[in-house]
């Protein structure tokens, strides 16, 4: 049976609203227009709702296998659907790591069995993400790897990174990098700046990230490889990526909602829900990230959704693990803080969550058009409510944004033509 979404509004390229209906058959959008016929169709009433392509998040941690007490593929992808995301890319810092065909095959079977939305699995650059031995890029690509990363740790040896980039380039695949020079971390748990000095705790300097990016950009140029920077966080890093793009080097970069919205000045005390890696930087860094997003230096937004158990985060700023959750709050936070405050247009925000990540990695998703896969989210831009961690589908409740009032809440997410989430109700 065909499904018709009626009475919604779409955004055009001029950031204006226009009324439209969308017809779907199977997993494909078949028609977009006004007053579409609904005979013998299932009808979804979208009156007063914005309709966009499903969001794409190319940096999430689903924790399974090995970390199921933090998150599972099932719970993490339901959280994604609740946040309007229909495509997520799962980082490989699991146990076991998807570093062999057998491990990746097992992961793909679990995704097929339990995921509510599309999951693109990363494979690791090195065996066990240990930084000692490269994986078999060719066989992992054939087994369905999306790209290669050792996210969570930076590749410390330049020679190994260069060889990895050469192998990735030979497979027309990307190297996706967590950029951090371990010799500069100084056992830090927050940014090295005003907050770390006031609290008397070790800080992670900005140069820790920027020097790895600078090194890797030159290696990517030598290897003719697509190089992607994870969760960029410092003004020096933004400057380095901007210079690389001007030089014609194939580099892309992502930024998280929390780095766009918060800086070290917003940390209220030693609350580990404000502990993430990279850490919240200085106000100048936050300003540089917004500028980099607006001028095209930074390509898209990704959440770095990183769930942890409450007891782990209760260990305090210095001992607790890095990371916060983000899938269920990304759009409302960004819409409230950036669009309503006229930092971004709504069209820009939607693009940073849809077509921009798709274009960066040549994915066939992220656009509302006839013939496209029916990945769709319906959003109530007028609804205002507080973020409530007790309502999360994610097992992780670790966010600094709990109880923050936001506008712009997804109310239905459709993945490949099927309702993946609707007002808290899962469709089987």
**How far is it, in rounded angstroms, from Cα 418 to Cα 148?**
30
Sheet holding 85-90, edge to edge: 55-60, 85-90, 118-121
**How far is it, in rounded angstroms, from Cα 24 to Cα 32?**
9
Residue 136 appears among annotated catalytic residues: no
Task: State the catalytic residue, choosing from 150, 304, 351, 375.
Answer: 304
Annotated binding site for Zn(2+): 59, 61, 151, 178, 231, 304
* H-run or E-run covering 351: helix 346-353
Q: Three-class SS string for 366-428? A: CCCCCCCECCEEEEEEEEEEECCHHHCCCCCCCCCCCCCEEEEEEEEEEECCEEEEECCECCC
| Phi, psi (deg, nearest 5) at residue 319 | -105, -25
| Adjacent-strand bridge partners of 28 | 25, 373
Q: Are 260 and 293 in contact (CB under 8 A)?
A: yes
**How far is it, in rounded angstroms, from Cα 411 to Cα 77?**
16
Annotated binding site for substrate: 61-63, 93, 277, 308, 322-323
* H-run or E-run covering 44: strand 41-45
Q: Are 234 and 297 in contact (CB under 8 A)?
A: no
Nearest to 324 by CA among 54, 56, 71: 71
Q: Are 383 and 48 in contact (CB under 8 A)?
A: no
The residues that are catalytic are 304
């Amino acid at each position: 049976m065909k499904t018709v979404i009626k009475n919604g509004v779409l955004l055009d390229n001029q950031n204006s609203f226009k009324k439209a209906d969308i017809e779907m058959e199977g997993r494909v959008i078949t028609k977009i227009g006004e007053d579409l016929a609904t005979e013998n169709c299932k009808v979804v009433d979208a009156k007063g709702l914005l309709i966009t392509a499903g969001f794409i998040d190319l940096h999430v941690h689903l924790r399974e296998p090995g970390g199921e007490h933090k998150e599972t593929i099932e719970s993490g992808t339901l959280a994604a659907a609740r946040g309007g995301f229909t495509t997520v890319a799962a980082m490989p810092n699991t146990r076991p790591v998807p570093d062999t065909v057998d491990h990746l095959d097992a992961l793909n079977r679990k995704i097929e069995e339990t995921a509510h939305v599309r999951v693109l699995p990363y494979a690791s650059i090195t065996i066990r993400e240990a930084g000692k031995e490269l994986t078999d890029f060719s066989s992992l690509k054939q087994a369905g790897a999306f790209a290669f990363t050792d996210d969570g740790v930076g590749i410390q040896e330049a020679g190994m990174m260069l060889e990895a980039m050469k192998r990735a380039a030979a497979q027309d695949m990307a190297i996706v990098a967590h950029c951090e020079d371990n010799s500069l971390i100084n056992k830090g748990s927050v940014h090295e700046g005003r907050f770390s000095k006031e609290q008397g705790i070790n800080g992670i300097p900005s140069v820790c990230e920027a020097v790895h990016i600078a090194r890797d950009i030159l290696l990517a140029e030598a290897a003719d490889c697509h190089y992607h920077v994870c969760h960029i966080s410092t003004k020096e890093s933004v400057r380095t990526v901007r210079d690389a793009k001007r030089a014609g080097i194939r580099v892309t970069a992502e930024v998280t909602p929390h780095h766009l919205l918060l800086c070290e000045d917003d940390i209220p005390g030693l609350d580990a829900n404000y502990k993430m890696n990279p850490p919240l930087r200085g106000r100048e860094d936050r300003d540089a990230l917004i500028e980099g997003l607006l001028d095209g230096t930074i390509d898209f937004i990704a959440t770095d959704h990183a769930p942890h158990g409450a007891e782990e985060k209760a260990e305090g700023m210095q001992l607790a693990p890095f990371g916060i959750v983000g899938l269920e709050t990304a759009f409302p936070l960004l819409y409230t803080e950036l669009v309503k405050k006229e930092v971004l247009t709504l069209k820009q925000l939607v693009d940073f969550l849809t077509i921009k990540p798709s274009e960066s990695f040549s994915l066939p998703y992220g656009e509302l058009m006839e013939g496209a896969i029916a990945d769709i989210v319906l959003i109530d831009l007028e609804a205002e409510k507080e973020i409530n961690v007790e309502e999360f589908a994610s097992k992780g409740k670790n966010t600094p944004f709990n109880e923050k009032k936001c506008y712009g809440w997804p109310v239905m997410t459709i993945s490949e033509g099927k309702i993946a989430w609707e007002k808290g109700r899962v469709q089987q």
